[in-house]
Amino acid sequence: MSGTRSAVVIGASGGIGAAMVRALAEEGVPVRGLARSFAGRDHIDLTDEETIAAAARSLTTPPDLVFVATGLLHEGAQGPEKSLSALDPAWLARQYAVNAIGPALVAKHVLPRMPKTGRCVLAFLSARVGSISDNRLGGWYGYRASKAALNQLIRTVAVEERRRNDRTIVVGLHPGTVDTPLSQPFQANVRPDQLFAADRAAVQLLDVLDGLKAPDSGRLFAWDGAEISP
């Protein structure tokens, strides 16, 4: 990504996160990957605030791009709810912890480590299904609601961050349907031209980020650059 001097990818062991690390490295950007499955100083668990704080403290070079590529749609035998009767409070809480609370804590600890002047980007993987106005099919209660919460948190963080650095862009990104373990159980009805390889998705998202300006902070954009309404 043009002008980026140092990048961090959180969720670097996942399909999109790993692809994002590769894409940045290919562009010559110094990039550090963090993930729950990594050990030592590169370990981070979005459900454990101390690991988030420790990872932030270990950033010796202020990153001007932080990309949070985490997300939870299904886990083990538990999948997205199709009806109210399937709601389970523990599963709802788990989705909020990973999809909304964890990313908010990343912003809490990482933004103060980012430069106070100049263009910076803090980007989060979100989802079109988190758009309240675009919800026509229903279902997927926890995932929809936790991503909607993430989108509101992004907007709120963006408002506060303008007071610290008015050129920081805090943004949500919808990557489309990407061929990763997260989407594999739900790919049957996706057209082949709308199912993206992870490497292609990463490049598309970097292209979107490259074109954003400070007034775009707090908003949600799709893989093709189109804005998604809240």
pLDDT in tens, 31-88: 999 999 999 999 999 999 999 999 999 999 999 999 999 999 999 889 999 999 999 9
**Do the Cβ atoms of 155 and 166 come closer than 8 Å?**
no
For residue 137, how many other CB atoms are within 10 A of its CB? 8
Instruction: Report residue 214's pLDDT band, with 50, 70 and 90 as the boundaries.
Output: very high
SS3 of 96, please?
A: helix
Amino acid present at 36: R
Q: Residue for token digits 């979107």?
A: 208
**Do the Cβ atoms of 18 and 12 come closer than 8 Å?**
yes
pLDDT tens, position by position, 165-185: 999 999 999 998 887 776 666
* C-alpha span between 76 and 69 (Å, rounded): 20
Q: Where are the domains of the chain?
A: 7-222
Q: How far is CA 66 from CA 5, 20, 69, 168, 198, in A?
A: 11, 11, 10, 11, 18
Instruction: Give yes or no for residue 107 having a pLDDT over 70.
Output: yes
Q: How would CATH label the architecture of 7-222? A: 3-Layer(aba) Sandwich (3.40)
pTM: 0.93
Helix axes 141-164, 89-96, angle to 10 degrees: 30
